Amino acid sequence: MELEILLKIILAATLGGLIGLEREIAQKEAGLRTNILIAIGSALLTILSIKLAESFSLADPSRIASQIVTGIGFLGAGAIIQARFAVHGLTTAATIWSVAAIGMAVGIGYYFIAFTVTLFILIILTSFRAIIRMIEKQKKSFVYIIKTGDRAAILAEIKKIMTESGIRYINVNLSKIKQGYLIEIVLTTSDIKNREFVEKVIQLKGVKEISSESL
């Protein structure tokens, strides 16, 4: 019995390690060691949940295992950060959550499912990155000069538009001029989102003039 548990732990560590290796190569926060530990912990807790239920007939076999989802939720939330009006770490958090699910699948004995899901995750993390690079190549850099009235708060409104539109900005400068402010923004986006951004900014209260050029 203990040998079977040990083999499950080794399998969970191997599958978690494959995903962790990809994350390590991609230089992400949750790398090889983190994903191995998550997979091992999830598998062991699932096994213990089942064994305890077998030992005590009134016990719920999913009681301990169900808490893994909650615990991984907190761990994933810790991997998500917000910086410069953009959210980072969502993929890392989703990977952590998925690796925990793989560990649980191994713990309960669904080996084929665990292997298949691991393969899917590796395909998503590697192949889709190439697709994203192709999309990024289609983006251009733009420089905006926006003249506004005496409302410094308008900069926050412009940043909100960029965040909601999924536009990444490189640099933002705000300087005081006569009867208002001058905002200079350097951003990277597609032509379509660029037009949408201009249309939304023009409608903001206090915007007097907006000019742009592509880099």
pLDDT by position in tens, the chain (length 215): 688 889 999 999 999 999 989 888 887 777 889 899 999 999 999 998 888 777 776 567 777 777 887 788 777 676 666 544 445 677 888 888 899 999 999 999 999 999 999 999 999 888 877 776 666 666 677 788 888 887 767 888 888 888 887 777 778 888 888 788 888 888 877 777 778 888 888 888 888 888 876 65
Q: What is the pTM of this model?
A: 0.63
Q: Give the Cβ contact number of residue 125 at 10 Å.
A: 19
Region label for 143, one of left (φ > 0), alpha (ψ between -120 and 50) or beta (otherwise): beta
CB contact burial 36-57 (16+ within 10 A = b; e otherwise): bbbbbbbbbbbbebbeebeeee
Give domain limits for the chain.
Answer: 2-135, 140-214
CATH code given to domain 140-214? 3.30.70.260
Q: Is the dihedral of CA 150, 156, 161, 167 positive or negative?
A: positive
User: What's residue 196's pLDDT?
Assistant: 83
Longest CA–CA span in the chain (Å) reads 80
Radius of gyration for the chain, computed over Cα atoms and rounded to the nearest angstrom: 24
- Is residue 88 within 8 A of residue 72, CB to CB? The reply is no
| Tokens of residue 7, six digits | 């083999």
